[in-house]
Amino acid sequence: MNIALPSYRHVDEMRPWSDREHRLECVAVTPEAPDVMTFTFRPDRPGHFFRYLPGQFVTLELPVGPEPVMRTYTLSSSPSRPYTVAVTVKAQKDSIGTRWMFDHLKPGLQLKAIGPLGDFSYARHPGAKYLFVSAGSGITPMVSMTRDLSDRQPDSDIAFLHCARSPDDIIFRWELEAKAREMPNFTLGFIIEQLSHGQLWSGLKGRIDKAKIALLASDFLERTVFCCGPAPFMATVRESLAGAGFDMANYHEEAFQPVAPPPPVVVADHGGEAQATKVIFTMSGKEGLCEPGHTILQAARASGVRIGAACESGLCGTCKVMKLSGEVEMDHNGGILDDEIDEGYILACCSRPRGEVEIEA
């Protein structure tokens, strides 16, 4: 039997996976901790490698039912190893998308992906020394950056502080402990919230505070800080640092919990009735009215036009569409590049028409 073997290619003989939309093929599923899995993907087209920044995210289209859902996940892999990408996800009790991944996503299955995107990366905010602070699955961008720095600059000065519910819930524990042995300037600390009866733990316990940060990195005031975790956790870290006189220009954070979609903007009524505006969707051949203060995404849904969306707060870039004519007011949170705006793209979830507009959707 003749089996066609893939030919060996160097990375400079391959093309980057950097277009707006591609399909990813799952190649591995790895359990990491209770209810936490890593899904590894390769490009669906041979001869491509992944180009992204450590700490960036992708949006996956998950076929959970008749209508797919879009979910945004930080890449836990490192661009220094560009042949595959991986996301490491925790399934919450009520999660639809992540639960679908746990139950159905197996090697060989392909998903549509959008991205990579995001500004939460040491590559965008370089510093002489870093403090990575995370909780729960907020560890994923920190691991991506650590893996990347460990490959590119193994002498990087990193203090890595991670908070988990219990020792068993520490994701990537063994890999990080190995990094602490391999990298000469890598300091690692874990803070555990609770121990079960009889469980041994010699590390830090309780909640994060300034004293525990200083215990790991007494020079934390001189470090560039990256923080990721639940909102109350990040608020505590922010307040601890600010209270200690930290220069908050060197503080960067990433929320990994979905942000609530923005409410409609209240439009001032200067005497006359605020008018709904016409939105024409050219690809579907439909048109509808956008109520005052509503977004293009809301108008699309009301007209039966499908535009994929995940964060619905101008962050992930999933709802990027081409505006063919007309004016919009866009209030985004970094989910679109200036070049893309110049080309005519908008984010439908945070763009409100100023008069009639034509959208390629």
Smallest distance, ligand FES to C-beta of residue 117, A: 9
Residue 40, both tokens: 């590894």
Whether the CB-CB separation of 44 and 24 falls below 8 Å is answered with: yes
Q: What is the CA radius of gyration of the chain?
A: 22
The residue count for binding ligand FES (CB under 6 A) is 13
229 sits near ligand FES (criterion: CB under 6 A): no
Amino acid sitting at position 194? Q
Smallest distance, ligand FES to C-beta of residue 99, A: 21
241 sits near ligand FES (criterion: CB under 6 A): no
Count H helices, E strands: the chain?
7, 21
Nearer to ligand FES, 133 or 348 (CB): 348
Please state, in angstroms and rounded to a whole number, the distance separating the CA atoms of residues 304 and 259.
24
Contact string (CB under 6 A) for ligand FES, positions 252-291, x = contact = ----------------------------------------
Checking DSSP bridges between strand 186-192 and strand 204-205, what pairing results, if any? parallel
- For residue 179, the SS3 value is helix
Q: Binding residue for ligand FES (CB under 6 A) from 347, 357, 359, 361? A: 347
Whether the CB-CB separation of 335 and 315 falls below 8 Å is answered with: yes
Smallest distance, ligand FES to C-beta of residue 287, A: 21
Smallest distance, ligand FES to C-beta of residue 281, A: 16
Smallest distance, ligand FES to C-beta of residue 347, A: 5
Contacting range for ligand FES; rule: CB under 6 A; set: 100-108, 151-159, 272-280, 304-312: 304-312
Q: Binding residue for ligand FES (CB under 6 A) from 145, 300, 312, 361? A: 312
305 sits near ligand FES (criterion: CB under 6 A): no
Smallest distance, ligand FES to C-beta of residue 62, A: 15
143 sits near ligand FES (criterion: CB under 6 A): no
189 sits near ligand FES (criterion: CB under 6 A): no
Contacting range for ligand FES; rule: CB under 6 A; set: 118-126, 183-191, 240-248, 312-320: 312-320
Nearer to ligand FES, 55 or 335 (CB): 335
Q: Which residues from 325-344 bind ligand FES, rule CB under 6 A?
A: 335
Output the DSSP codes for 256-307: -SPPPPPPPPPPP--SSPPPPEEEEETTTTEEEEEPTT--HHHHHHHTT---
Output the DSSP codes for 311-352: SSSSSS-TTEEEEEES-EEE--SSSS-HHHHHHTEEEGGGEE
Smallest distance, ligand FES to C-beta of residue 169, A: 29
Q: Binding residue for ligand FES (CB under 6 A) from 58, 114, 131, 310? A: 310
Amino acid sitting at position 89? V
Q: Binding residue for ligand FES (CB under 6 A) from 17, 318, 357, 361? A: 318
- For residue 355, the SS3 value is coil
Q: How far is CA 135 from CA 140, 162, 228, 254, 256, in A?
A: 10, 6, 7, 11, 10
314 sits near ligand FES (criterion: CB under 6 A): yes
Residue 210, both tokens: 């300034």
What's the gap between Cα 53 and its chain centre? 11
309 sits near ligand FES (criterion: CB under 6 A): yes
317 sits near ligand FES (criterion: CB under 6 A): yes
Instruction: Please give the residue ranges that form the binding site for ligand FES (CB under 6 A).
Output: 309-312, 314-319, 335, 347, 349
